[in-house]
Amino acid sequence: MAKRRGWSGPDRRCQCSKRAQFFRMRAKMSRYAPSETEPKWQAAWDEAGVFTAKRDPAREKYYVLEMFPYPSGRIHMGHVRNYTMGDVVARYKMSCGFSVLHPMGWDAFGMPAENAAMEKGGHPKEWTYGNIADMKAQMRPLGFSLDWTREFATCDPEYYGQQQAMFIDMLDAGLVYRKNAVVNWDPVDMTVLANEQVIDGRGWRSGALVERKELTQWFFKISDYAGELLEALDGLKDWPEKVRLMQANWIGQSRGLQFAFDLVGAPEGFDTLEVYTTRPDTLMGASFAGISPDHPLAKALEAANPEIAAFVADCRKGGTTEEAIETAEKLGLDTGIRVKHPLDPNWELPVYIANFILMDYGTGAIFGCPAHDARDFEFATKYALPITPVFEPLEGDYPAAEFVPLKSEKVRYVKGFAGGEVQTGEEGVAAAITECESRGFGQGVTKYRLRDWGLSRQRYWGCPIPVVHCAACGVVPERKENLPVRLPDDVSFDKPGNPLDRHPTWRDCTCPSCGAPAKRETDTMDTFVDSSWYYARFTSPRAETPTVAEEVDYWMNVDQYIGGIEHAILHLLYSRFFARAMAKTGHLPPKAVEPFNALFTQGMVTHEIYMTRDANGRPVYHLPEDIEDGKVKATGETVEIIPSAKMSKSKKNVVDPMNIIADFGADTARWFVMSDSPPERDVEWTAAGAEAANKHLARVWRIATEIAEADAPANPAEDDALIKAAHKAIDEVTRSIDGFAFNKAVAKLYELTNTLSKSKAGAEAKRVAMKLMAQLMGPMVPHLAEDVWRLLGGEGFVVQAPWPKADPALLVEDTVMLPIQINGKKRGEITVPKDMPKDEVEKLVLADEAVVKALAGGQPKKLIVVPGRIVNVVI
């Protein structure tokens, strides 16, 4: 084989040198060929069982989990980014010697499967399992370090049967109950609609105006845990602050006064009206009482009074979302009933039914103080009710509208009845509660905004609620030996509504209690139930019980959980509750009540949108792959480019990861999604960026092959510099991965690549540095890392090689450069020994040319020396 030094020698430059050189290069340096090597390494990892998690009490475990996907059928770049982040952590921890659990499964129940069945025919089961197979086939080429032996789908009867068993245990433990709650009702299709199926107050299919309707539904008693879920947030040190804040606000603890108004002129049985207020200090500014349209009093009035019935019916129009209710026009109706003011029996207030008062919060009744509440102000203005200020600002004028200062701000009470004249709102509230309690009406109470978790869904494709309705025994849980209560396969989706309801035989059963003929519950569970314990099931996915003690003891908790910020509240809060409910029913150890030790919320993958317009001026969207130089390839039309947005099918700004893998390989896709943007922020997919990522990996491979062939002798100064750079990279990449700053780890690897490329070090030093680089880049680009590792004689798999440790001696610099600022602006710099004492630095600074010039013979006012950092001369 020809030696490298012959390449550029003038003696070799014969007329056919180019051709010869080409063939020599082919022979010596195989090109970067991910399509060949990636499947090879994946097969090798599989064969060696590298990623099969093993319970090994001798080793410390590490559980990495990415939020499992809904099986839509196609993976998208968001998945690639999410799972690559998890993979980086999993492979890194594996190299650090942990026994790693990194599983994957499918959040497989839910509406899209039923919608597909309605639109295209077929069965939700076939659709779902087909999608799972497709998506798995798309995920495998990405080379994730997943333990596929633990895979399951939440629609597997083996999974939902265990969920039913836990439901029964939780029912026994008093964690589940039934009550009435409102749903979106489509009066034309005669069916319950999900919030997303209500568009501008109308049903998505029928177009009918949606109504709020009450149904009896199952609830988890999450509100029993409101205080605990709130307090425990403080212990979640490795969760993003914003998520903890959002959850705290969602739980919404408040301290207030609950008291009863005496009613005047109310129907029989309604002597008093219980209200809850967080501002009892404004009681003297009350101008009306308000009740929810769903309040029992409103219902009683509705039955007897057609005007009220019409108004209440009007209030029930529209969807159930808080957003819809909060943004709707404030409507009220004077019931003619009056309440007596508790501080003055001669003072009566009108009672209104108002559409913005929620039955689910507090007591469903309030008193309004328009002077100090924006919503009450709007309402009072509209209905010409009195507006009486209770307090004023200490300084400045009283505002034209309502005056709502922070509760921590001091104000002057002009109509207070408790505490000092000048006090904060908080002090005013506390004093008012004490005063009311001592006067014998009302008491201070702590309430939460958090409502109980309604889990009933009037749909087919979900986990059946395992209860039976018996004429004699009432609602009875199914016997555990009869679980799972399986979904029937023979169902049709040709009409709206729940197919379980109209199935000819499925409902029929015998009462588990008395044995008489009975009917099954046809509601299924909210899919949030499925996703509230899958992390625990991964520890023993095939067990005959929901969990197995020794497995959950070993593997729980999840050490690192990764997913989208959109799950900040509901999924994560429900999981925190469910873990507590599982602990109470003996399915999780007490240590697992907070199941996720660390949480990371990643940003979206976005892309530009390409749009043209049709003859009618309506927008037409185009796939990125159909665009070239700002024009539609097929027609040559110029496209309008809309700035980046979340990838969505309807806007066609999607990039199929499969195309990227086909063009460049999995490592390129992985490298790209880890580079540039910080993981918590959105990342924009660009074709140029993907090509650049690919070029970089090809360059690394080329440098590696050159190094493998190199025979340059040792060169002490250069060798030391290179090894020092490599150790600096170890330090920086390690800290970046630990800190979830993958973009910075990538930047450091670019730097090390540049250093390696330019280095004049000897062959041996270069091989050492390149092998270190293979290890450092392994978590991001595992296939290329294995290639490089093997090429340079590494033993075994790089993913199993111990993570390199930076030698602290190689990280320190002997001298530091200190910028010199004059009045905060950089005007020069000096280089000094690292440990130079302050007074010597000062001497050097005062002798500096720029400083001498600026001082013009005078003395500085101040001289600030931050050792090793900066110097500031204040003149």
* Interface with RNA, residue 751, by CB under 7 A: yes
The residue from 209, 300, 343, 747 that contacts RNA (CB under 7 A) is 747
Segment near RNA (CB under 7 A); pick from 44-52, 54-62, 138-146, 244-252: 244-252
Which residues are 670's β-sheet partners?
A: none
- Does residue 189 bind RNA (CB under 7 A)? no
In the list 221, 317, 451, 584, the residue contacting RNA (rule: CB under 7 A) is 451
Instruction: Check binding of 110 to RNA (CB under 7 A).
Output: yes
Rounded to a whole number of angstroms, the minimum distance from the CB of residue 836 to RNA is 16
Alpha-carbon distance 742 to 439, whole Å?
Answer: 62
| Among the listed residues 52, 272, 321, 659, the single contact to RNA using CB under 7 A | 321
Q: What is the DSSP-derived secondary structure letter of residue 638?
A: B
Residue whose CB is less far from RNA, 232 or 246:
246
Q: Which residues pair with 289 in a beta bridge?
A: 351, 367
Quick one: which of 511, 741, 761, 799 contacts RNA (CB under 7 A)? 741
- For the bound state, the minimum distance from the C-beta of residue 50 to RNA, rounded and expressed in Å, comes to 29
The stretch among 271-279, 384-392, 453-461, 489-497 that binds RNA (CB under 7 A) is: 453-461
User: Of the two residues 120 and 758, which places its CB atom closer to RNA in the complex?
Assistant: 758
Integer CA distances (angstroms), 192 to 187, 211, 239, 497, in order: 9, 10, 36, 7
Enumerate residues 6+ apart whose C-beta is below 8 A from 795. Answer: 801
| Interacting residue with RNA among 163, 456, 524, 734 (CB under 7 A) | 456
CA distances (Å), origin 348, targets 333, 371, 383, 418: 17, 18, 17, 21
Q: What is the DSSP letter of 637?
A: P
Q: Is the dihedral of CA 217, 220, 222, 224 positive or negative?
A: positive
46 binds RNA (CB under 7 A): no
Among 33, 44, 245, 394, binds RNA (CB under 7 A): 245
Closest Cα partner for 246 from 559, 528, 563, 570? Answer: 570
CA–CA gap between residue 594 and residue 601 (Å, rounded)? 17
Q: Which of 864, 834, 831 is nearest to 848 (CA)?
A: 831
Q: Which region, judged by CB under 7 A, interacts with RNA, from 343-351, 616-624, 714-722, 747-755?
A: 747-755
- Identity of the residue, 150 or 696, whose beta carbon is nearer to RNA in the bound complex: 696
- Select 348 or 751, whichever has its Cβ closest to RNA: 751
Instruction: Order the strands of the 211-220 sheet from edge to edge.
Output: 191-193, 176-186, 211-220, 453-454
**Could you tell me which residues come within 8 angstroms of residue 821 by beta carbon, excluding any fewer than 6 positions away?**
827, 870, 871, 872, 873
Positions 826 through 855 that interact with RNA (CB under 7 A)? 826-827, 829, 850
Binding track, positions 366-395, relative to RNA; x by CB under 7 A: --------x---------------------
User: Is there binding between residue 33 and RNA (CB under 7 A)?
Assistant: no
Closer to RNA by Cβ: residue 288 or 701 = 701
Element (DSSP H or E) covering residue 261: strand 253-264
User: For residues 792 and 774, what is the distance between their CA atoms, to the nearest angstrom?
Assistant: 10
Residue 143 pairs in a beta bridge with none
User: Rounded to the nearest whole angstrom, what is the least distance from the CB of residue 866 to RNA in the complex?
Assistant: 5
Residues 671-710 that bind RNA (CB under 7 A): 675-678, 681-684, 686, 688-689, 691-692, 695-696, 698-699
Which among 75-83, 471-479, 527-535, 540-548 is the span making contact with RNA, rule CB under 7 A?
527-535
378 by Cβ neighbours in 10 Å (0-12 / 13-18 / 19+) ranks as middle
Place of tokens 């002997």: 814
Residue from 54, 59, 242, 805 in contact with RNA (CB under 7 A): 242
**How many other β-carbons are positioned within 10 Å of the β-carbon of residue 20?**
13
Q: Which residues in 803-822 contact RNA (CB under 7 A)?
A: 817, 819, 821
Determine the Cα angle at 461 with ends 457 and 464, to 5°: 60
Binding residue for RNA, selected from 183, 283, 301, 707, defined by CB under 7 A: 183
CB atoms within 10 A of CB 506: 20
Quote the least distance from Cβ 625 to RNA, whole Å: 18
Rounded least distance, CB 347 to RNA, Å: 29
| Binding map of RNA across residues 610-649, x = CB under 7 A, - = no contact | -----------------------------------xx---
Answer whether the bond into residue 484 is a cis peptide, omega within 30°. Answer: yes
| Residue whose CB is less far from RNA, 106 or 413 | 106
First to last CA, the chain: 70
| Longest CA–CA separation in the chain, Å | 116
User: If you ran DSSP here, which 8-state letter would residue 365 be given?
Assistant: E
The yes or no reply on residue 124 touching RNA (CB under 7 A) is no
* Number of residues located near RNA, criterion CB under 7 A: 96
Asked if residue 744 binds RNA (CB under 7 A), the reply is yes
How far is residue 253 CA from its own chain's centroid? 23
Q: Which structure tokens are listed for 132?
A: 């799972």
**Which residue of 81, 571, 607, 766 would you call a contact of RNA, by CB under 7 A?**
571
Q: State in angstroms the smallest separation of the CB of 441 from RNA.
A: 28
Contact segment (CB under 7 A) with RNA among 437-445, 541-549, 628-636, 746-754 equals 746-754
Tell the smallest beta-carbon distance from residue 300 to RNA (Å): 26
- The contacts of residue 282 (CB under 8 Å, 6+ apart) are 369, 371, 372, 373, 390, 391
- Please give the single-letter amino acid code of residue 248: A
Q: Does 754 bind RNA (CB under 7 A)?
A: yes
The single residue among 10, 11, 120, 327 that binds RNA, judged by CB under 7 A, is 327
Q: Which CB sits closer to RNA, 84 or 145? A: 84
Q: Which of 148, 204, 250, 554 binds RNA (CB under 7 A)?
A: 250
653 is a site residue for RNA (CB under 7 A): no
Minimum gap (Å) between residue 504 Cβ and RNA: 24
Site track for RNA across 757-796, x = CB under 7 A? xx--------------------------------------
Report if residue 19 touches RNA, rule: CB under 7 A.
no
Q: Is 307 left (phi over 0), alpha (psi -120 to 50) or beta?
A: alpha
For RNA, which is the closer residue by CB, 184 or 547? 184
* Long-range CB pairs of 74-77, under 8 A, 24+ apart, other chains included: 74/134, 74/135, 74/138, 74/656, 75/135, 75/138, 75/139, 75/657, 75/658, 76/605, 76/647, 76/654, 76/656, 76/657, 77/605, 77/647, 77/654, 77/655, 77/657, 77/673, 77/685
Q: Which of 37, 163, 423, 527 binds RNA (CB under 7 A)?
A: 527
Contact stretch for RNA (CB under 7 A) within 57-65, 300-308, 587-595, 745-753 = 745-753
